[in-house]
Structures are given as structure tokens and as C-alpha cells.
Amino acid sequence: MVVGGVFLGVWLGKDRIIGLFVEEVNHYLRTPVRVSKIDLSLLDQFPRVSITLRDVVVSGSLPQDTVPLARARKLYFAFDVWDMVAGHYRVRTVSLVDGQVQVRLDAQGKPNYDVIKTGDEASEAGDEGDDKPFAFALENIRVRRVAVEYADLGRRQRITTQVPDLRATLSLANNQVAIQATGTTQVKAIRLDQDEYVRDKQLKLNTRMVVDRARRVLTIRPSELQIGPAAYGVAGTVDYSGATSLDLRFDGHHTDVQSVVALLPPRMAQRFSVYRSRGEVYFRGSVRGLMTSHHDPRVEVNFGCRDAAFYHARYAEGAEHVFLTGSFDNGSEHSFRTSTLTLAQARGTLQGRPFSGDLRYQNFTDPSIRVKLQADLDVGRLLRFYPVAAVRGGSGQAKLAFEFAGNLRQFRAQPAAAAVQSAGELTLQNVRLQVRDIAQPFSNLNGTFRLQHNDVTVPLLTGQLGRSDFQVKGLGKNALGWLLVRGQPLVAKADFTSSLLDFDQLLRVHTPAAGTRRGRKTVVQASPYEFTVSPTLSLDLNTRVRRVRFRRFRGHDLRGIIRVHNQVVSSPNLGIAAITGSATVRGYVDARQPKLLKVSTTVGCSQLPLDSLFYVFEDFGQKFITARHLRGSLTASAESDIYLDRQLTPLTDRLEAEIRATVRNGELNNFQPLQKLSMIASREKLRHLRFAELTNNFYIQSRTVYLPEMEVRSNVRAASVLRVTGTHTFDQVMDYHISIPLLPGLLRRSSGAPVGPSLLLAIQGTEDDFRVSYDRARVQANRANAAAASRPLQNAAANRPAGPLAPAPTNPTEPRKLFEVKKPEKKTTQPQTGEYFNF
């Protein structure tokens, strides 16, 4: 009956209670609050009576700030029934449900949450004392399903959280508010500048705080934040009477690598998220000083581990028995410029092999570093523990001793001239490496690299690349800068020896399979070779190779100097023995334009068997005259400009060459076009045409081989002297002209030209479809020339043929005119029937 009477009295007096509540609240508010409805409920917070505010919007304290401080679908203020019986309405509990709170500091550090009057200001607004009919005496606060955002525009900081359920108890004594809060919070992100920390983590909160309203000091009693299995303790004070001053201490319990990495932003955490740890990992630190838009507090952190293990989650490879002590301090100016990170007395084992080291990193704005590292390593396990993107795998043993001290900015700017100290030694024992961009693995690597200042000396390095092997001795200047700083040059001089270089492998790269279908398109297989030269490499190699292999080519005893500079590979004189003869090469490969390689060479060869030469070079891409047709010994020299794309596919329309060749003891066997000359000799004799010596110059230009007129003395009596001229295109279109004396026994010479009747023939068509016919056009041309010879010579100088070599173009990508070919003019005069002979 008593309770029912109280409820009835509350219900009848609700308008008065609401009025008292509104009056009391207004004593403490500095900013407007909009509410769609205020009601008195007996059930919403049962057994307590509550004043329920619906659709609440609390304006912030920043002028011209359109973003409200808080929104809530429901806000409950509850008080006890017995207080009401005593005639005092005391709000004991506040509940916020389904809302959003946005705490902001503008660019000048002014807050938007200064909405409640405190101290003398509150006293003047309303009477103090227990005799007030309505007052706040908060004991509990509950927050459910509320999004909270904190933004400091001046410091470019933002914290976003979602609070599913948080409870807090309050007690007031002598102007001090004691708060104890427990609950869970889902942290969306803590954004500092461009990085987001603690992304999507659930925090369990257990904290005790005391707010001194008079002194405006927040004291955090030892409290704990739990993220997963890791717990982080915090204690200290926050003085907000003026500029915010911090004096906080924190530490970590039950922490490991993954719990610390989970707090880092993605760009930092991604690389280390695959690591796990066991054992004791600890840290503790403090934050002291002013925190404003222009000041940062002093931050000191000590961390380390004792007998811990760190391993890669996928491969279970890692470091064991690790001991480490470290520290971070942002220095006297509380800035990156005075910050220092140290790692001291680090030691452990990697799969039973020891390592140790020290690190000191000073001035995060213009860093200087001092590092010392010693390690005995299993290469395969090291790469599994710490993968390197450029290396797909490896094995073998390595020993490393390395020291470096100096300013990183100066080193990056000028590695060779920077005032740094560096020394070290790396020894490889039976190392195998599979490099990402090279199809064949490096294997059996044995040798030593010695670092002194910025240069590396290689006393001896041996190994294999696929089937090829090598031995290197030499010096690399600026090697450390080239290795660590992008774009730095490497100047090296070395002796290189090999028992086999297999260019079929060395030039081969990964390519998609021929005819691979992608959607509706068929991807055509590219050339299996690729040639690139680093723009930062300058190399001088004294080369000696016992055997060289490329497709059908087999060479031996390759000797000479090879130079690489500015993406141009050159040699002043490179010699090689091949096909029972020998050859010399001088020239260069210009790789400055990767899609257009230029190969400019002067080549000489001596005593090379013709049939072997044609076989090795696969009949030079034609089927008209092949290795089975030819015998003899070739001595020749050639100047050429060859252009290729980066997959070493020749660009034949740009090719130019001049070849001076002599063939001795030559034979032309089973050559089908000769069978068409059966009117001058038997097929048997024509099947084995032999000649003692043949000398001529050949020219290649515009995808055409030009053969100036030459004299061939053969073993066929009826055709003992042949004169041949013509062209042969890269599309296998032939146009040869042959002159055969009809009376070779009566042949006389006058000024080197034959005198007497000759049979003129033409071989025209393609390799698969050609014909041998009487050369009527040439007969007509010879008659016209004879008529002109009877008249006085005019303009002889104008008709002089161009020289064999023309000046090189100024643009290296344009074809160099090695020669000018004077092509025969087409005759419009039709020959008469029966004019088959030249007299």
C-alpha cells in the first residue's frame, strides 16, 4: 500500500518533478539542449523512478561549431523512491542509450565539451545544500550502444570507439568525484597524423579515477586495459587547470610480439604480423609534461625480453633464447629531432647458430645510426624466418660481421663521400639462391666479401648460375651505396674465368606458354631471351672462358676485355675459337633504350668450314643455300649495325652490314638451281661444282643481301668461269644473274672484262618457286651500254659509285649507312626474240 501510494503520488506530481528537473539542469548548462519529449517513467529504470529524455541533442561550446557534442535516442535520470518519500529528489543514476558523442578540440586547442558550469559559477546559478528539493547525487553511470569520437584538430589526432556496455560508479566527497568504471569498448582506430593504431580491437576496461573539481586534476589510480591476452597498466595524473599536463606511468603484462604488433598501423604491422613469440616480453614507460598543439610531453620507454623465442608463424622458423634490452626517449626537446632508440646486448640463436648485436638510432628527423652485428647463419632458415622479396629461396651457410656508424642522410646523398665508418666480412659456404627475376638458381657459391668504408673486395668468389660456372676476383667501389641506396653507381674491376657459359640459360627468362588463352585472346609466346643492363653499373672485366654455348654454337677459349659503362657493353678485342677456326670481335651493344638494342661490331674470322658455319647459325634463317650444299674454308671480315628489341628479336629492316669474304677449296653440292643448266654440262658434274677460290664483298641493307658481280672458276669445263651478281631478300625473294662464256677456251681478258660470247641467265622467284631463264633484260642493257661506250664519256664523275662506307648517323638509334647500294635501273625496252647471247 505504501509503495502504491508513492507511485500514485509520483504520477500525480510528475509535472512538478519534471519542472524541478528542468530548472536544476539549467543551473548547470552553458549550451542549449534540444529534447523532443520529457516524460516521467516508473518502469524504464525500475525499481527507480526516471525522467526520460528522448531525441536529445547537446550543442558544443565552440562558437560557430555546427557539430553537436552529443546525440542520444534516450537519456535517463533516475532517483530513489525513498528520496521522494523524504521530499528530496536526488538523481542517483544516469543512463545513455543509443547515442553518439563527439569530443573536439579546435586548431587552437579549445574544447567543445565545456558545457557544464562548475565551482563558483555553479554556486551562483543555484543554491547549494541538502535542503534543495532537486539535486544531482550521481552514484552510477551506464552507457550502452554509444559511439564516441575524440578529435584534436591542432595535433591531427582522432580516436573513434563504440561502447556496447560500460558501467561506472561515482562517489562525491569534499568536491572530489571518485569514479570506478568497468566494461568493454570496441576501438575502431586511434589516428595519429596519417597512421591508425589499435584498429578494430576490443578493450576490457577496469579503471579507478578521482576528479578534483576545485583543482581540476584527474588522478588515475592503478588501472588496467586488456586487449586480448595482453594487459596494460596505467596510473598517474592529468592536470587540466590550464594547458593539459601529464604525469603518467604505464607498463605491459603478458605481452608478446603479436599483441604489440596488433597495436601498430597496418603499414608497420603488415610485415611483422606473421611473427609470434614465446617467453617474457616486457615494457614500461612514462609520459610527463605539457600536451598542447605546440608542445609534446617527455616520453620514456624501456623494453626487452628474457629467454624469449620469435618465429615465423608459417614456417615455424625463428630465433630462440633471445635476450634484449632496449629503450626509447624523445629527449630534452620532446621531439623526433632529439629522440633516441637503442637496442643493447641483443643475443640469441637462429636454429642453434648464435647471433649478437647492438643498435643506436638518434635524431629521427636527420638520423644517425650505429649498428654492430655478428651472426652465423643458415641461409635457408634465415630466409624463411625473414623473407626477402627479391629472393624466393636458398640454402647453405654464411658468416657475417658488420659495423656501420654515420649519418644516414649524408650517406644516402653521397655514399662515397659521406663521413661514415663501415667495415665487415661476409663468407659464403655452399650457398644456393633462387633470385626472383632470374630463372636459373645461383648454386655452389663459395667466397668472401670484405667491406672497408664503402668499397667491397672479393678475394675469390666461385659458383654456378644454372649450368654456367664462374670465378671472380676484384674490387667494387661504392658497393655499399649501390646495394643500399637506389640509383647509386657501382664501379667494379675484376678478373672473370669460367669453364662454361651457357647463354641458352643465361639469357632465358620466364615467359607465358605459347598460345596461352586469356579470355577471348590468344597470347603469343615472346622470345625466350631478354637482355638488360643496369644504368648504375660500370664494369671492367678481364674475361677468360674455356667453353661458350648458344643454341647450336659451340666455342672455346674466349678471351678479352669486356667493359660496361652507361648501359653500353663494349670490347676492344674479343677472341674465340670455334668450328675448327677462330674469330675476333670488337664493338659494342648499346642498351640505353631497352626496346631498341644496337649492336655495332667489326668481326673477323679465319679458316671456318662453310658447312659447319651454316649449320651452327641455322642456315641464317633461309632454306635456299643450306649447310648440306656447301663445303670450303671461309676467311672473312664484317662491319655491321644490328638492331634488336629487348627480347633479342632482330629488327631486320634496320640491319646494315658489309662483308668481305674469301672462300677457298669451295664446293656447291646438290644445288637444285644448277640442275637447270644441264644444257652446258651434265647433271653429274653440276651436282658437285668445285672452285679453288672465291673473293667478294656482300652488302646487307633494307632486308636485302646485295651480291656485286664476282667471278667463279669451277671444275666444270663448259662453265669453268662463271660471273654471278644479284640480290636475295629476307623474304627469300631471289634475283640472280649468271654469265657463262660459250667458248671458255678462247676467253681473253681486256681490262679485267671477259671478251667473247656469253650465255646470260637469270634465277628469279622464291626458294620454293623459282625459275631459270634467259636474261633478256640484261642482253638489252648490255647492247645499250655498248652503244653508249662508242660515244665520248660525259659526266664520268657523276656516275662514280658511292664508297663502301658512309658516315655514321649522329643519332645512335638511327641505322648507320655502312654503304650505298646502286640498284640497277629497270629497263622499259622489250628484248627481241632470239637475243639470248652477249657478244
Q: Give pLDDT, residue 118.
A: 60
Kindly list the distances between the CA atom of residue 472 and the CA atoms of 306, 484, 519, 544, in Å, as whole numbers in the listed order: 44, 22, 48, 11
Grid cell of 723 as nine digits:
660471273
pLDDT of 651 strictly over 80: yes
Q: Which of 199-208, 255-264, 414-423 has the lowest mean pLDDT?
A: 255-264
- Its pTM stands at 0.65
Residue 451 pLDDT greater than 90, yes or no: yes
pLDDT of residue 786: 65
Lowest mean pLDDT among 472-481, 514-523, 542-551: 514-523
- φ, ψ at 24 (rounded to 5°): -70, -40
Average pLDDT value for residue range 287-305? 87
When pLDDT is averaged across residues 438-457 and rounded to a whole number, the result is 91
Radius of gyration of the CA atoms of the chain, in A? 46
pLDDT confidence bin for 718, thresholds 50/70/90: low
Question: Distance between CA atoms of 359 and 509, rounded to whole angstroms?
Answer: 40
**799 close to 789: Cβ distance less than 8 angstroms:** no
Other Cβ atoms within 10 Å of 191 Cβ, number: 18
Tell me what pLDDT residue 804 has.
Answer: 34
User: Look-up: residue for cell 525500475?
Assistant: 46
C-alpha cell at 777: 633484260
| pLDDT band at residue 754 under the 50/70/90 scheme | low
pLDDT tens digits, one per residue of 527-573: 566 778 888 899 999 999 999 988 878 888 999 999 999 999 999 98
Distance CA 610, CA 674 (A): 19
Contacts of 528 (CB under 8 A, 6+ apart): 507, 508, 509, 511, 647
Q: Answer whether 311's CB lies under 8 Å from 275's CB.
A: yes
Closest CA to 301 of 260, 243, 241: 260
Phi, psi of 211 (to 5 degrees): -105, 115
Mapped onto helix, strand or coil, the DSSP state of residue 149 is strand
Q: Which letter, b or e, does each residue of 652-661 get, where b requires 16 or more Cβ atoms within 10 Å of its Cβ?
A: bebbbbbbeb
Distance CA(356)–CA(381), nearest Å, equals 17
Q: pLDDT at position 132, please?
A: 60
- Report, as an integer, the average pLDDT of 66-89: 76
Cell of 180: 570506478
Q: Give the pLDDT confidence of 767-794 residue by residue, as tens digits.
A: 778 787 877 777 777 777 766 666 654 4
Q: How confident is the model at residue 835 (pLDDT cuts 50, 70, 90)?
A: very low
Most confident residue range from 18-27, 98-107, 128-137, 456-465: 456-465
Q: Grid coordinates representing 711?
A: 667471278
What pLDDT, on a 0 to 100 scale, did the predictor assign at position 523? 44
pLDDT at 793: 45
Q: How far lies 334's CA from each of 190, 307, 338, in Å? A: 21, 33, 7
pLDDT beyond 70 at 274: yes
More confident residue, 211 or 624: 211
Q: What is the rounded CA–CA span in Å between residue 699 and residue 78? A: 106
Cα separation, 416 vs 454, in Å, equals: 6
Sequential DSSP letters for 664-685: EEEEEES-HHHHTTTTTS-HHH
- Give 397's contacts (C-beta < 8 A, 6+ positions apart): 376, 377, 378, 379, 428, 429, 430, 431
Q: Give residue-wise pLDDT tens across range 205-258.
A: 899 989 887 888 989 999 998 887 788 899 999 998 888 899 999 998 778 777
Q: Which of 213, 236, 252 is nearest to 297 (CA)?
A: 236
Q: Is the pLDDT of residue 393 over 60?
A: yes
